[in-house]
Amino acid sequence: MLKEIKIGNLRLPHNIFLAPLAGITNLPFRLICRSRGASLAFTEMVSVNGLVRDGAKTRALLKRTADDYPLGIQLFGSSPDDLAEAARMVEGDGELIDINMGCPVKKVVGTGAGSALLRDLKQVAAIIRATRRATCLPLTVKIRSGWHSGEDVFLEAGKIAESEGCDAITLHPRSRNLMFGGHADWDKIRELKEFLSIPVIGSGDLFSGNDCIRMLRETACDGIMIARGALGAPWIFSDALDVARALEPFTPSKSELASTIRTHFGMYVAHSGEAIAVREMKKHIGWYAKGFAGASKIRSEAGAAASFDDIIRLIDKIELRETHGGESPDEKGITDDAAGENRNRLFCDSH
């Protein structure tokens, strides 16, 4: 269940991680999830072609700070030589290298990378062998159950990963053709765990602290990775830790929610600048609002937000909904002065 875990020479205090999410697990999001308990976080998937050929833009995905630790760098590509070269290039940028063998999107599988590799296990072996030779960092792979439902290869792929020197493997037990449909079949995580000696990390359908602990218990896997469940709910990590310790899971009040969003926004502004922070927080506010009364209104206001102050006003509205007994904050009139005060609070919260 909840336990210390060792992946290669990387020792982690517990086994609840933030999964790689393209377009999402950038530095600010990783920091907010770490602040709520994630013991390991991953970059967005990083193209080895981009790293090897055009450099600067792709390298921006590796941006980190000292407290963004430990960091798993996820690489995707289809050429063993390029993956090996990329692994050498990023060795100083993280504590672990993961190879993406699960991404189902056309743009990635069209290049023979991601889950397309599950149709060519010889290539899987060649990629892991070359990358293993290239780096001393802990090396892991993340796979789906197979390319097509009914044509599972996760046991064979797992055995190859183990014999070629991977230090752990993550399984998202859906085939590529399912994309995100149906349910993740956790029985396959249990099967893989029983089949291998290296640590097995489970991924799929973890939307609450209870789900996390249930996956650990039902599959006996060595660790779990939370993905969609962390969107708008970074406290899912502390929830899982609380459930494991038989404590009540945390249900944030609106002011706690607002404070988390402020902290997240503050991290974004500090690390990515105001323009990117405003653009990106719009989608995060949509996720933070899910499940709350008036969520669709907040979401459409978030869509229309164009400035730092618009975002601050929106966060205030979320908070005032509770403080003023659910009245529309518009009626209470949030002034520019209030937004200005919150600009100061934002930076106090995030540092």
Ligand X SMILES: Cc1cc2nc3c(=O)[nH]c(=O)nc-3n(C[C@H](O)[C@H](O)[C@H](O)COP(=O)(O)O)c2cc1C
Catalytic residues: 103
Closest distance of CB 141 from ligand X, Å: 9
Q: Which of 8, 223, 229, 329 binds ligand X (CB under 6 A)?
A: 229
H or E, element range at 5: strand 5-7
Residue 27 within binding range of ligand X, rule CB under 6 A: no
Are residues 315 and 265 in contact, defined by beta-carbon separation less than 8 angstroms?
Answer: yes
Among positions 36, 132, 172, 313, the unique one binding ligand X when judged by CB under 6 A: 172
Q: CA torsion sign, 100 to 105 to 106 to 107?
A: negative
Binding letters toward ligand X, positions 287-316, x by CB under 6 A: ------------------------------
Segment 98 to 127, residues that bind ligand X, using CB under 6 A: 100, 102-103
Stretch that binds ligand X, among 26-34, 96-104, 251-259, 289-297 (CB under 6 A): 96-104
Query: Would you call 292 exposed, middle or buried from its count of C-beta atoms within 10 A (0-12, 13-18, 19+)?
Result: middle
Residues 178-207 that bind ligand X (CB under 6 A): 184, 203-206
Q: Compare residues 207 and 347 and give the one whose CB is closer to ligand X.
A: 207
Draw the binding track, 50-79, toward ligand X (x: CB under 6 A; -: no contact): ------------------------x-----
Nearer to ligand X, 206 or 314 (CB): 206
**In whole angstroms, how close is the CB of 146 to ligand X at the nearest point?**
15
- The stretch near ligand X (CB under 6 A) out of 81-89, 186-194, 226-234, 262-270 is 226-234
DSSP class per residue in 197-235:
SS-EEEES---SHHHHHHHHHHH--SEEEE-GGGTT-TT
Least distance from C-beta 23 to ligand X, angstroms?
6
Position 45 contacts ligand X (CB under 6 A): yes
Please report whether residue 223 would count as binding ligand X according to CB under 6 A: no
> Quick one: which of 17, 26, 44, 132 contacts ligand X (CB under 6 A)?
44
CA distance 13 to 69: 12
Q: Is residue 137 a contact point for ligand X (CB under 6 A)?
A: no
List residues bridging with 72 in a β-sheet: 42, 96
Q: Using CA atoms, how far apart are residues 289 and 304, in angstroms rounded to an integer?
A: 15
Which positions ≥6 away from 143 have C-beta within 8 Å?
A: 101, 102, 115, 118, 154, 157, 158, 161, 169, 170, 171, 172
Query: Counting contacts by CB under 6 A, is residue 173 touching ligand X?
Result: no
How many residues touch ligand X under the rule CB under 6 A: the total is 21
Whose CA is closest to 222, among 202, 203, 246? Answer: 202
Q: Read out DSSP for 261-300?
A: HHHHHHHHHHHH-HHHHHHHHHHHHHHHTTTSTTHHHHHH
Tokens of 211: 């789900």
Residues that bind ligand X (CB under 6 A): 19-22, 44-45, 74, 100, 102-103, 142, 172, 184, 203-206, 226-229
